[in-house]
Chain A
Amino acid sequence: MECKFQPGDAVRVVERNQPGHVRTPQYVRGKEGVIERVVGSFPNPETLAYGQSGLPYKMLYRVNFAQKSLWPDYDGQPDDSLEIEIYEHWLEPA
């Protein structure tokens, strides 16, 4: 399965309101990060959770975000970061 993004690519999480079993938490939607690694393809949880096949599989990435970009009032250190798994259909180039 082809992947649209490579490690180091700048990406933005799609800002979309979608009901149902969604694995993209609100706090990263619309936020910009960098692809940390390509994890591989997995069944789509958004349909799998409802007894369907989860097909077609979705490419999954680990995305790194600077904490400062997630929380403007973050009071840790400037280098602190957060990594989270995001499916390809929730990512766009930044």
Chain B
Amino acid sequence: MSDHHPDHMHATHTHDGKPIQNDDRPPIKAETLETAVRELLIEKGVISAEEIHRAIEMMDEKGTELGARIVARAWVDDDFKQRLLSEGDAAVREFGVDMRPTELCVIENTDDVHNMVVCTLCSCYPRAILGIPPAWYKRRDYRARAVREPRSILTEFGTSIPEDKQVRVHDSNADLRYLVLPQRPAGTEDWSEEQLAELVSRDSMIGVADIRGPGE
């Protein structure tokens, strides 16, 4: 909380002088259970509050850079790309990523197929590679609509898929985690791996966007 002015830590009034209302919804059962288990684990010395805080901080800070580096490597190194597609777990281990207990499934966008990922049951996501999923990925409307009207969703994301290109939706409902390998944009033939990684967006790796090349 070091980024907060100390006076704000125990403030009882907002900036415009009104008393602060607690407008949080009451905790759901699972949240109460989580609090109880967490407090017990700390009390019994199994884990410390600091360890929990550090783990949360690490997860919060994880961006999508690792995913972008993996995609860029696949673009410049065909052997790596083949390994990534056939044995995702082993391939990303070269980047220090451990997918266990899940497995990584990398799906490649081509001239004929556009892939996009959703988890209809909850919010399964390749966190080890892409960090925390965006809020929209967890929303009910994305989860419900991505499987039944993917082309409308793509249009809303500003992604136009030609009619003769297949849209393939992947429901991440069980033990695999999905990473879309987007198409390398035209005009980047001379680019270095590092330059390419800069181009790769989070949304392109979820499959709701394409990557624009220079001048596009």
Contacts and interface: CB of A to CB of B under 8 A. Distances in A.
The interface size bin for chain B is 20 to 34
Interface in A56-75: 60, 62, 67, 70-71, 74-75
A23 B173 CA distance: 6
Contacts of B175: 39, 42, 60, 85
A83 B171 CA distance: 6
A81 B168 contact: yes
15 contacts: A25-B121, A60-B175, A74-B149, A76-B149, A76-B150, A76-B167, A77-B167, A81-B168, A83-B168, A83-B171, A84-B171, A85-B172, A85-B175, A85-B176, A86-B174
A79 interface: yes
Contacts of B176: 39, 62, 85
B122 to A, nearest CB: 10
The interface size bin for chain A is 20 to 34
Interface of A: 23-25, 27, 39-40, 42, 45, 60, 62, 67, 70-71, 74-77, 79-87
B173 A85 contact: yes
B166 A80 contact: yes
Contacts of B165: 77
